[in-house]
Chain A
Amino acid sequence: MDWEAIRLSLRLAALSTGLLVPLGIALAWPLAFGRFRGKLLLEALTSLPLVLPPTVLGFYLIVALGPRSPVGQAWEALTGARLVFSFQGLLLAQVVTNLPFFLQPLVASLGSVDRRLLEAASTLGSRPPGIYLRVALPLAWRGLLSAMILSFAHAIGEFGVVLMVGGSLPGRTRTASIALFDQVQSFDMAGANRTALLLLAFALLVLMGIAWLRSRERTWS
């Protein structure tokens, strides 16, 4: 078992989920309740990683984070290192890739919050950020938890984008799913079996957890 790859996967998933929490919470409000021009475009853009082939997404991320891109140049000027094929570059790529997995359960859960409660909050003097943070988000906590679990789990299993943006550098960008790929490539079928089984058990556990959370979604009355 490639424990280094598993540790890297866990670290990458935890950090990308950590970054997704504030970003996702900020984006979920306009997506759930906003009425503005460009909402459809925002919805489409944030869902894009769901339908785009990972290689296409990976390609554009290489372009966006590469040494010739403004982001890549700024990063290099700041740290002296390149962003692509680094852990940090991989982290950014994971945030972008997993954004829809975070947003979808959260937006769905926010959408099921009773509008009358939001109206009550507004007549009590609350403005949208307050209504969101004090009423809508606490009532949609199961959706938030589902979002965190789902994006964490997806980050553990992501392969295509990770390979495109990070390659397979042991200890830096070689995650568990890349390790599995390498094990199969080198005919280490026993090792591949162990890694695959671990990833399978983890995914199953996550889906059961989310199903349990959804079954308890409407217990507040």
Chain B
Amino acid sequence: MELRASFSKTFPGGPTIQAAFQLPLDAFGLTVLFGPSGCGKTTVLRCLAGLEAPEEGLIQAGGETWFQNGRAIRSASGRNIGFVSQDSALFPHLSVAGNIAYGIRDCSRAEGRRRVAEFIAMMGLEGLADRRPAELSGGQKQRVALARALAPKPRLVLLDEPFVSLDRAAAEQLRHTLRKRLQDLRVPALLVTHDPLEALALGDRMLRMAEGRIVEEGEPALVLSRYGGHGGRAGDPLGVQMGVVVRTRVLGRVEGLLRLGAGSAELLAPDPGGDFEEAFACIRGEGVALEHGPHGPQTQRNRLVAEIVAIEPLGGLTRIRLDAGFPFEALITTWACQDLKLAQGQTTHALIKASAIGVIPIEG
């Protein structure tokens, strides 16, 4: 069972947004719809939710047609989806319990009360059942919004940048809760975000959008590596921020640093704290230096023997694509590249500063 969507939507004076993709509906899986602000991610989500009508196309979910030939066959209320927006949109006149109970139907009052209590406990909202939304913090509001969206047992949850208005600590805590609860309840989800770290931490699959179209699809680390690493465009802030993304396993901890296994190689990187077994290591090309042979002590903690896979001149800078059991790259001056007489197929020593590696724990 899956959701198939292929539609286009144009706003007057704006670009045409075109989307064509499929989402599995019969098992848990978190798909990330990723792209810069203003590329049309939210419009895609709103069209799926039935809050916006595309001009043309087809949206089907498990054999049920939601939208066809410019006409909504099923309105938002008949699609059985959960929708969580950036600002939580809680009903201000209802209590936390009233908000969560709002979408629960087709069950007895006692069963409804039991489900509300279950979701209050599940989302860590104990003691807040009778509070009004105005009395809650931003993080608590989003927890209520999530509980409210999940309580009616939807077949798909649509999340529109649900953490964007939260501070970092609240966002991290809620991210962890979100993925775990969706997994427990086996509800597939589509998450809109422009934050690559969030996409990596939460996503099983990624749809990357640019200028109103879905341009790439695949595993988040691969898509982001292509986008943030050698595939990223010059001057793109996301590309610079991310570097190449490598999936690693935690081997241990030493002197406040993490020992990470990447392919056959080992990396030392700053420990973000927390209990996790796997993590993405984001290696920025500017933090990688190259030398021909091992010299004396260096400040760089990671010294890897790597093969030069490709050399890409970028004017004053040159991008050296390397393989040390996992792919990564170095961004050095063209002058240094010529000085070292680097060539494709050559073996070299790569020195990576531990501080140039960003670690993103992978949620269970």
Contacts and interface: CB of A to CB of B under 8 A. Distances in A.
Whether A and B are associated in the same complex: the answer reads yes
A122 B105 contact: no
A126 interface: yes
Chain B interface, >50% SS class: loop
Contact of A121 (B82, B85, B102, B134): B102
Nearest to B151: A124
B137 to A, nearest CB: 14
B101 to A, nearest CB: 10
B295 interface: no
A49 to B, nearest CB: 32
A123 B76 contact: yes
A178 interface: no
Contact of A122 (B75, B85, B134): B75
Contacts of B90: 120
A139 B91 CA distance: 9
Given A117-B91, A125-B103, A220 B85 contact: no
B201 interface: no
A220 B152 contact: no
A135 interface: yes
Residue among A116, A119, A126 with the highest chain B CB neighbour number at 10 A: A119
A185 interface: no
Interface in B69-108: 75-83, 85, 87, 89-93, 102-103, 105
Given A116-B89, A220-B134, A221-B92, A124 B152 contact: yes
Contact of A127 (B77, B79, B89, B92): B77
A71 B78 CA distance: 41
Contacts of A134: 102
Residue among B50, B78, B85, B93 with the highest chain A CB neighbour number at 10 A: B93
Contacts of B49: 123
Nearest to A123: B83
B50 A122 contact: yes
A164 B152 CA distance: 57
B51 interface: yes
Residue among A116, A120, A139 with the highest chain B CB neighbour number at 10 A: A120
9 contacts: A117-B89, A119-B89, A123-B77, A123-B149, A124-B77, A124-B152, A126-B102, A139-B91, A139-B93
